[in-house]
């Protein structure tokens, strides 16, 4: 997809971070923007800012964990703008994991699986039938993470599990649209190359009442990228970060080439991916520092 003018882009989790940056970047390229999010106040603010720039936009409350809610978002987008050309299944959370996974609260597992995994499954079920029926060139983009898809960082087992599953689903979706010769291109977006400075580390702000943490026993104590920077500095490490606008620019450059992998890495990450592949080929025992975190 080279020309975004007049195209309709639906972005889940568009009230903050990567989704928000995608909304502005695509809007500035002439796309009409539909943001679905559970953070109503932030979403409405984004809607106002998009409109102030003269970008055609609508925002609608959408809880990605609910299929009905994603169907309603799709209906609203079609009603407002007459079609859908780009879908970003982007909403995601970090559960603030820390400690041994067997001590985790069941609610941590449920919340993260609900948003990160079911959010993507529901997006596929709500939007793919419409894109297929529409019969026009369209793009379905899933925001994954190298943590799970490419590497296994040892300190966030729930998040890693969701992103591993999400990646296999994304790759399978690609194979299925290819096999069906459908006009829908599928891409896997990996925010990076460094930790992206977003609200992900403060996801508790949108944690549902019914799945609140049961104890503070496994709280990581990290609530922002600044917290991570401070913690890294204590070990003499200067943590590098990426701005979400850079992720949006990388994603759009990839979409223009119909690329599957919307992925920018550092030489260090490349070395770990290679080491991980070799570890599997050699059947050697995993060593976290070499193949993951
Ligand atoms: N920040 C990073 O370093 C990084 C790295 C790799 C992948 N990612 C992925 O990028 C995506 C976007 O996250 P971000 O980093 O921009 O974080 P963010 O917190 O800034 O944005 C996530 C958005 O998702 C929304 N959201 C949460 N639960 C929702 C739900 N149930 N329904 C609808 N919306 C919901 C939040 O309100 C928020 O607006 C996520 O899938 C995340 O896993 C982020």
Residue nearest to atom 43 of ligand 1 (CA): 92
Cα radius of gyration (the chain):
19
Question: Domain 8-267 - what CATH class?
Answer: alpha beta
Distance between Cα 103 and ligand 1 center (Å): 25
pLDDT recorded at residue 27: 98
Per-residue model confidence (pLDDT) at position 217: 58
Ranges of residues in the chain with a pLDDT under 70 are 215-218, 293
Pocket test for ligand 1, best of 14, 18, 209, 243 (most atoms within 8 A of CB): 18
CA of 287 to the centre of ligand 1 (A): 29
Centroid of ligand 1 to alpha carbon of 17 (angstroms) = 7
Instruction: Please state, in angstroms and rounded to a whole number, the distance separating the CA atoms of residues 2 and 275.
Output: 36
Distance CA 122, CA 134 (A): 19
Residues annotated catalytic, as ranges: 159
- Among 149, 155, 87, residue whose Cα is nearest residue 117: 149
Q: Which two tokens stand for residue 68?
A: 């009905």
SS3 state at 59: strand
Torsion sign, CA atoms 132, 170, 42, 24: negative
Looking at ligand 1, which residue's alpha carbon is closest to its atom 25? Answer: 13
Pocket test for ligand 1, best of 24, 92, 191 (most atoms within 8 A of CB): 92
The pLDDT value recorded for residue 216 is: 59
**Which pLDDT belongs to residue 192?**
97
- The answer to whether the CB of 97 is under 6 A from ligand 1 is no
């Amino acid at each position: 997809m080279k020309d975004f003018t007049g195209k309709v882009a639906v972005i889940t989790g568009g009230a903050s971070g990567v989704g928000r940056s995608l909304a502005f970047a695509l809007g500035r390229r002439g796309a009409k923007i539909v943001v679905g999010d559970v953070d109503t106040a932030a979403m409405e603010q984004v809607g106002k800012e998009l409109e102030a720039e003269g970008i055609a936009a609508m925002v609608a409350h959408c809880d990605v964990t609910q299929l009905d809610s994603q169907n309603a978002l799709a209906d609203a987008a079609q009603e407002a703008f007459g079609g859908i050309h780009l879908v970003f299944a982007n909403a995601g959370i970090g559960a603030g994991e820390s400690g041994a996974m067997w001590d985790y609260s069941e609610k941590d597992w449920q919340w993260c699986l609900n948003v990160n995994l079911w959010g993507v499954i529901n997006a596929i079920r709500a939007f793919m039938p419409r894109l297929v029926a529409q019969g026009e060139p369209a793009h379905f983009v899933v925001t994954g993470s190298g943590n799970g898809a490419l590497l296994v960082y040892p300190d966030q087992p729930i998040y890693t599990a969701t992103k591993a599953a999400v990646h296999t689903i994304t790759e399978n979706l690609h194979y299925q649209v290819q096999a069906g010769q459908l006009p829908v291109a599928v891409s896997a977006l990996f925010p990076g190359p460094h930790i992206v400075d977003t609200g992900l580390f403060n996801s508790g702000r949108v944690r549902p009442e019914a799945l609140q943490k049961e104890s503070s026993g496994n709280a990581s104590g990290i609530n922002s990228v600044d917290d991570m920077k401070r913690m890294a500095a204590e070990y003499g490490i200067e943590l590098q970060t990426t701005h979400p606008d850079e992720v949006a620019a990388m994603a759009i450059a990839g979409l223009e080439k119909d690329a599957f992998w919307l992925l920018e890495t550092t030489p260090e990450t490349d070395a770990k991916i290679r080491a991980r592949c070799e570890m599997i080929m050699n059947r050697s025992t995993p060593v976290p520092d070499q193949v993951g975190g």
